[in-house]
Structure 1
Amino acid sequence: MPIPATYNVQPDPGQPRDPTYTPVGWPRTFLTWTGAAGDIIPLTGDITGRTSPAGIALTKGPAGLGMPTFDLKNDQLPNMDGGLFRSTRATTRDITIPLIIRGVDRTSLLKMHNRLLRALNPTLGPGWITATEGDGIARHLECYYVSGAEGSETQENAGFTWIKTALVLRAMDPYWYSDAERQYDWSVDPTAVSRPFLSNSNYPAFFPLRISASALNSGGLVDIIHDSSVVAWPVWTCTGPIAGLSLENTATGQTFRLRDDATVPPGKTLIIDTRPGIKSVTLDGVNAWPQMRADSALWSLRPGRNTVRVTARDGTPSTLIRLHYTPRYLSYLG
């Protein structure tokens, strides 16, 4: 049945509802596909032929770009109504991208079509959907091509200089990732943090972002504001000399510690990777799990404020402890 509703002021369809508010000009979302070989193809490009002989444009009806699907676990209660919640997890994500490929002639159409097919080939590895909003913030999602480009020569789906298709892509990790990596440094000498940092991410055009620095001799406490509703998993890069290393997230009460007799020699690098599916501790590429204390935890950054305490001893001006992470998001909008 309809829900009765009344308005104190009758809205005028020709005017903004709030006359004191000025609408913000906002460019359209820009979408690209990056193949495993690095070919970047605009999916919201120009199909008029004015800027290039052929292009690809997004048509109406994309799906799967928002929240992932969640799998809820619960137990049925034998003598009571309802059930008892146990856990939840985000499942893999399927995305549908309806496209039209258009060229100024048959040759340019086929060239663009074949370029897209090569970039979609899942046997070469995953690709990336990258969505850039009007404010310039970009987020990407690693996907594999599943179906949709098999081809249909019906009158509604293909012509001499155009082809319509609806790509189905599957993301094993359902969360969108920021293109800007957050970075925090701790050192004995504040001048030591000015050294350049090169990201080792495989994602193309990935630029790390330095956020702040702290000194170990000032207590090692730094507030990290994680602006997402999804936990983030940091990677620690610790350059010696270091002894008595302790990395604590006071927000969660979890701590990672090395054994009292474990050290990072001068010039050596200890890497603590807490990311799901990796979970490794290495010293110059050699497994260093035995150097961890038994009560250690490879903790994550929870949404919101995290106060991280880093303590160590026997440091020199060449000692550098670096935390870097990539925020994850529920959708391409945040």
Structure 2
Amino acid sequence: MPIWIDPTGREWVLNAPGREFFTMNAVSGYGITPVNLITRPDPRGGVTVIGVRSQQRTLVWPVRVRGRTHMEFQTRWRQVAAAFALTRRQGPGLFRLRRPDGTAREILAYYQSGWDGEPGQGHTYDTPTLTLLCPDGFWRDSQPIPLERSTGESGDFLDPFPNISSGDVIGATQMFNPGEVEAWPTWRLDGPATQLVATNNTLGRTFTVNQTLSAGEWITITTRPGRVADSSGAAINGALARPGSTLWRLEPGVNDIDFTVAGAGPETRISMSFYPRYETA
């Protein structure tokens, strides 16, 4: 079942009960993520592929809008059109595909074109063909996978998670990414704390964030795009240690992770979440 979630969070089922609004059988754009092959001439002939870069995705989704009267049709037409047009001012919406077993994958999307009206239609029905631009060509799960641990707490993520000294929280765990491609986690550090050092041993990459936090204060670290922000959402320039820090990804499969929170206290909490990403819907 296709669903459009507009930038305000309202859901529009594109196969609604009653058949007033439903998807036609001419959908395209939900297969393997498009790529750009970077090449250079080979002196022996042909080319050598020196890189592969994933590209944006374009979804083409024809829908039928109906009404029992012209005004009923016109009202529905305008409402749904506005739900897609919101992306021009308020950022991307979510295009979600829910399967019969209850699982779902989704992709961030902007309305690009297609809500124009077809010749000979427009009285009690019309068949616009939506074109949606998806900046990230990969699909993702509709729910993120979380990790969380606080000072003095013992237990598992997927493996035992040890801690503790008087001023540090020291973590070592294995994080499993069930997706088909890399995932980009978002971290949150709740104070008290003075520093976070996070290492992905699978990749051999580390980042360090220096920020003094009191109890009740927190920061978020978004790895894509790279950004450190305070609890109000304002960017904290200079918090990420440079040079030497790489806001790392999670590879598909098992990732060995270590992190240390310096200056910790009883209320210190560290959490991470990510959306697994996939080639197809």
The TM-score, its normalising length taken from structure 2, stands at 0.86
1:238 equivalent in alignment to 2:185:
no
Q: Name the aligned partner's letter for residue 44 of structure 1.
A: N
1:178 equivalent in alignment to 2:149:
no
1:133 equivalent in alignment to 2:99:
yes
Q: Name the aligned partner's letter for residue 280 of structure 1.
A: R
- Structure with greater Cα Rg: 1
Assess if the C-alpha contact under 8 Å between 2:185 and 2:274 holds in 1: yes
1:41 paired residue number: 12
Structure 1 residues 38 and 183: CA distance shift in structure 2, 3 A: closer
Higher strand proportion:
2
Q: Name the aligned partner's letter for residue 143 of structure 2.
A: A
Structure 1 residues 62 and 212: CA distance shift in structure 2, 3 A: farther
1:308 equivalent in alignment to 2:257:
yes
Task: Find 2:267's aligned residue among 300, 315, 318.
Answer: 318
Q: Name the aligned partner's letter for residue 129 of structure 1.
A: F
2:108 paired residue number: 142
Structure 1 residues 298 and 163: CA distance shift in structure 2, 3 A: same
How many angstroms does 1:165 deviate by?
A: 2.1
| Deviating more after overlay: 310-319 vs 224-233 | 310-319
1:187 equivalent in alignment to 2:150:
yes
Q: Which structure exhibits the higher relative contact order, with contacts defined as CA atoms closer than 8 Å and separated by 6 or more residues?
A: 2
The TM-score, its normalising length taken from structure 1, stands at 0.73
Assess if the C-alpha contact under 8 Å between 1:93 and 1:171 holds in 2: yes
Cα distance between partner residues in 2 of 1:213 and 1:111 = 56
How many angstroms does 1:305 deviate by?
A: 0.7
* Counterpart mapping for 1:123-272 below 5 A: 123-125=88-90, 126-154=92-120, 158=121, 160-190=123-153, 214-217=161-164, 220-243=171-194, 245-258=196-209, 263-272=212-221
Cα distance between partner residues in 1 of 2:171 and 2:183 = 21
- Counterpart secondary structure, 1:190: coil
Structure 1 residues 286 and 57: CA distance shift in structure 2, 3 A: closer
- Counterpart secondary structure, 1:116: helix
Structure 1 residues 213 and 136: CA distance shift in structure 2, 3 A: farther
Unmatched tracts of structure 1, length 5 or more: 1-29, 49-54, 194-209
Cα distance between partner residues in 2 of 1:211 and 1:45 = 40
| Deviating more after overlay: 238-247 vs 180-189 | 238-247
- Counterpart secondary structure, 1:107: helix
Cα distance between partner residues in 1 of 2:235 and 2:111 = 35
How many angstroms does 1:302 deviate by?
A: 0.8
Cα distance between partner residues in 2 of 1:213 and 1:145 = 45
Assess if the C-alpha contact under 8 Å between 1:216 and 1:310 holds in 2: no
Task: Find 1:84's aligned residue among 37, 48, 51.
Answer: 48
Structure 1 residues 134 and 176: CA distance shift in structure 2, 3 A: same
Give the count of matched residue pairs: 272
Q: Per-residue displacement from partner, 1:156-198 (whole Å, max 9, x unpaired)?
A: xx2642212211111122222222111112322228x9xxxxx
Cα distance between partner residues in 2 of 1:164 and 1:229 = 35
- Counterpart secondary structure, 1:216: coil
Unmatched tracts of structure 2, length 5 or more: none
Structure 1 residues 146 and 211: CA distance shift in structure 2, 3 A: farther
Task: Find 1:70's aligned residue among 35, 43, 52.
Answer: 35
Task: Find 1:280's aligned residue among 219, 227, 245.
Answer: 227
Structure 1 residues 147 and 211: CA distance shift in structure 2, 3 A: farther
How many angstroms does 1:312 deviate by?
A: 3.2
- Counterpart secondary structure, 2:243: coil
Task: Find 1:95's aligned residue among 50, 53, 59.
Answer: 59
How many angstroms does 1:116 deviate by?
A: 1.4
Cα distance between partner residues in 1 of 2:59 and 2:88 = 19
Assess if the C-alpha contact under 8 Å between 2:227 and 2:235 holds in 1: no
1:31 paired residue number: 2
Cα distance between partner residues in 1 of 2:59 and 2:240 = 43
Structure 1 residues 148 and 59: CA distance shift in structure 2, 3 A: same
- Counterpart secondary structure, 2:127: strand
- Counterpart secondary structure, 2:245: coil
CA RMSD, Structure 1 to Structure 2 (Å): 2.6
How many angstroms does 1:299 deviate by?
A: 0.6
Q: Name the aligned partner's letter for residue 177 of structure 1.
A: R
Cα distance between partner residues in 2 of 1:73 and 1:250 = 29
1:56 paired residue number: 21
How many angstroms does 1:96 deviate by?
A: 0.8
